[in-house]
Amino acid sequence: MNQTVKTGDCCSVNKNGDDSYDLIVIGAGSAGFSASISAAEAGRRVAMVGHGTIGGTCVNVGCVPSKAMIRAGEAVHGGISAARFPGIEPCAHSVDWSAVVKGTAELVDEMRQKKYIDLLPSYENITYIEKGAARLIEGGIEVGGRIIAAPKVLIATGSRPFLPEIDGIETVEALDSWDLLSLPDQPESILVLGGGYIGCELAQMASRLGVKVTLVTRSRLLPGVEPEVGEVLTEALKAEGIAVETDLAYRSVVQGDGGVTLTIERGGTPETLTAERLVATTGRVANSEDLGLREFGIETDARGSIKVGADMATTRPGVWAAGDVTDRDQFVYMAAYGAKVAVNNALGLEALRYDNGAMPWVVFTDPQVAGVGFSEVQAKAAGHDVKTSVLTLDHVARAAAARDTRGVIKLVADAKTDRLLGGQIAAPEGSDTIQTLAMALKFAMTTKALGETIFPYLTTVEGLKLAAQTFDKDVAKLSCCAG
């Protein structure tokens, strides 16, 4: 097998002394590593070209640091919220923001080393070319003046934060999600633009760590989720002291001595919102502009995302793409999955198709918001005769025992066949609960079958059983475990 050797501070090269491979992977994040390892395990020679910091978005600036700081915020909030239990006095923890940020950075360094850098020596037939700005050419790529040849190329260059078009925003030192997570000194107050996954997570995290937060969004929080679920989260954030401003238009933003002032318009009336710092969490844009896609006839959408088919092939024969650079789901686990689909098809290993029909997703707020499959609107748009059930968490014994009944479960099913089509949940343990529903969808369960399944008592996941039973009966009239 081909071995990998480090040379200088630039790249790895083959001991064989040639630059010809079976597959070139551009990008060294989740999708890039997944693709490279899959190909290497199949005995193929792979050149993996780094794009930015090794490990990509998730470990460096996304999932890992954000969830670490969200957990820190949960620990602080736990002391305050303990008063919901009779006989428990609340306590307020002191927070050293700088130390939390430093500890998070150390965790990121550790996981990048362990889960990415240290893996490379285990795969002799992966050659890593470090931090190269690759560009497509006939028969391969050009990177740093070096031509690398391969019959197949997979693009996995990821994405970056998108700055909204607001008058004056270029004059403001706007923070993106990573800027906030790595900010050395705690801001007194922040305006968070965007009510999607990232905006909601970071707004609550910062608030729990002692920052005054105003969360601002054009429509409503989590506009793609079920209204019942989004409303639960909105009320939870407000209850913690976060100012939630919705249904508005951004007009302008200016930097002043006292911080940042954002002018919005709501119902035809202008208003101003002020904070020390502005944090933009208004989506992401694909890292695709410098690859030479247009010259090769590779189609992209308005944000530069590469259009791919179910086989993850681009519109150029011989070129595939995976991860956040594509027009597919922007989750790290789907990036890795899509990369495996792409490699199997590119190398003729197994004919796979990208399938997100039972793909769970999670928003790591508190309560956590999670879902899988169709929402009610999506199911109707797909032509289904839809029936739904909605169960609030005050019907779930686990929530009652935890003295925390914030939450709701909504299930969507086909009225004719009774087959489950999707569901969403807002609950403190929603992230773990949703996988059970994902399995139910994967194996085409009916609401009747889910309602008849045995679940352990005093668990949040039992709420799925109760929600399934709610299609046909009033669960408030059942005794414990009587369903």
Question: Alpha-carbon distance 229 to 292, whole Å?
Answer: 42
CA 251, 252, 253, 258 torsion: positive or negative?
Answer: negative
Q: Residue 471: name the closest of 412, 385, 406 by CA.
A: 412
Binding residues: 67, 157-159, 194-201, 283, 324
CB 312 within 8 A of CB 11: no
Binding residues for NAD(+): 194-201, 283
Residues in Cβ contact with 50 at an 8 Å cutoff, skipping those fewer than 6 apart: 27, 28, 128, 129, 130, 131, 132
Beta strand 152-155 with 408-414: parallel, antiparallel or unpaired?
Answer: unpaired
Binding residues for FAD: 67, 157-159, 324
Beta strand 212-216 with 189-193: parallel, antiparallel or unpaired?
Answer: parallel
Beta strand 152-155 with 23-26: parallel, antiparallel or unpaired?
Answer: parallel
Question: Alpha-carbon distance 157 to 430, whole Å?
Answer: 31
What single-letter amino acid sits at 446?
T
Question: Alpha-carbon distance 132 to 113, whole Å?
Answer: 19
The helix/strand count (H/E) of the chain reads as: 13, 24
Residues in Cβ contact with 13 at an 8 Å cutoff, skipping those fewer than 6 apart: 4, 5, 7, 19, 127
